[in-house]
């Protein structure tokens, strides 16, 4: 009986010791090359995302979302530069209204609608009981350039600064909520 109690105590202890190394880490040779060094192209943006979850479906969704988010943040910078160039080339860079428009569009693109941001490569690895998903997103710059120019040309029709500010404020409120939970 005593022996049984000792075994019953020892077995969970062994399992606890085996798990005290934290979450299993990805083996370096298992990480896809395109994740470490995303491809570069003149006409497209590539960004990678990854996520480790207990559920394969969630890992895939999170990795895809993070890759697309990286694309969205990259194009924000590119679009703002392109608009600046467009303003200068059109000779309206000194116009006060045009300057106001530039700032509003750059806010708008922080809420980007990504058309054709495709997950072109995906790999799923297992790390212990976790699934680790790697996703590579591709966004064609030609469509981005065209869409940005279209935006610029019909500036007044699409200009909706109040809406952009409102949604941005919503997100800022969410950040504050998040901070409150974390405290």
Partner 1 sequence: MKRIFVQTILAFTFEVCFSQTVIPEWFENLPQAPPGTMYSVGYSGKYINHSLARESAIAVATKNMAKQIKSRLAFEIEELSDGRFRLLKPTFGLSYKKDIYVNIVDKCVIADSAITDNGYFVLLAYPDIQHHISGNLKKWGNKPAWTEKLPFNKEYNYGVGIVSNYSSWVRAWKDADEYARFDLGKNFEIEARSIHTSKRDNKFIVESNILRQSYDKEFSNTVVISRWYDRENDIYYSLCRQAKKFNK
Q: Does 65 bind partner 1 (CB under 8 A)?
A: yes
Task: Closer to partner 1 by CB, 112 or 148: give it.
Answer: 112
Q: Does 140 bind partner 1 (CB under 8 A)?
A: no
Give residues 7-36 in contact with partner 1 (rule: CB under 8 A): none
Q: Which stretch binds partner 1 (CB under 8 A): 18-26, 37-45, 94-102, 113-121?
A: 113-121
Task: Closer to partner 1 by CB, 95 or 174: give it.
Answer: 174
Task: Closer to partner 1 by CB, 95 or 128: give it.
Answer: 128
Per CB under 8 A, the list member of 30, 57, 153, 163 interacting with partner 1 is 57
d(CA 34, CA 56): 20
Q: Does 112 bind partner 1 (CB under 8 A)?
A: yes
d(CA 16, CA 164): 51
d(CA 54, CA 128): 10
Q: Does 141 bind partner 1 (CB under 8 A)?
A: no
Per CB under 8 A, the list member of 35, 45, 46, 68 interacting with partner 1 is 68
Task: Closer to partner 1 by CB, 10 or 173: give it.
Answer: 173
Q: Which stretch binds partner 1 (CB under 8 A): 6-14, 17-25, 95-103, 121-129?
A: 121-129
Question: Which of 139, 109, 126 lies closest to 48, judged by CA?
Answer: 139
**In sequence order, which residues have a C-beta less than 8 Å from that of residue 139 and are 6 or more positions away?**
44, 45, 46, 47, 71, 75, 114, 116, 117, 118
Q: Footprint of partner 1 on this chain (CB under 8 A)?
A: 53, 55-58, 60-62, 64-66, 68-69, 71-73, 110-124, 126, 131, 167, 171-172, 174-175, 178-179, 181-182
């Amino acid at each position: 009986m005593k022996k049984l109690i000792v075994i019953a105590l020892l077995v969970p202890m062994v399992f606890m010791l085996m798990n005290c190394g934290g979450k299993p880490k990805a083996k370096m040779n298992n990480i896809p090359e395109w994740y470490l060094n995303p491809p570069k192209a003149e006409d497209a943006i590539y960004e990678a995302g990854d996520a480790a979850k207990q559920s394969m479906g969630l890992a895939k969704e999170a990795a895809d979302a993070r890759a697309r988010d990286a694309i969205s943040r990259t194009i924000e910078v590119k679009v703002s530069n392109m608009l600046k160039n467009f303003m200068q080339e059109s000779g309206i860079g000194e116009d006060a209204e045009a300057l106001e428009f530039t700032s509003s569009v750059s806010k708008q693109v922080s809420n980007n609608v990504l058309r054709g941001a495709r997950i072109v490569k995906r790999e799923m690895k297992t790390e212990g009981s976790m699934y680790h998903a790697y996703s590579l997103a591709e966004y064609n710059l030609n469509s981005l350039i065209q869409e940005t120019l279209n935006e610029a040309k019909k500036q007044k029709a699409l200009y909706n600064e109040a809406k952009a500010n409102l949604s941005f404020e919503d997100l800022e409120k969410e950040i504050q909520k998040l901070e409150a939970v974390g405290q």
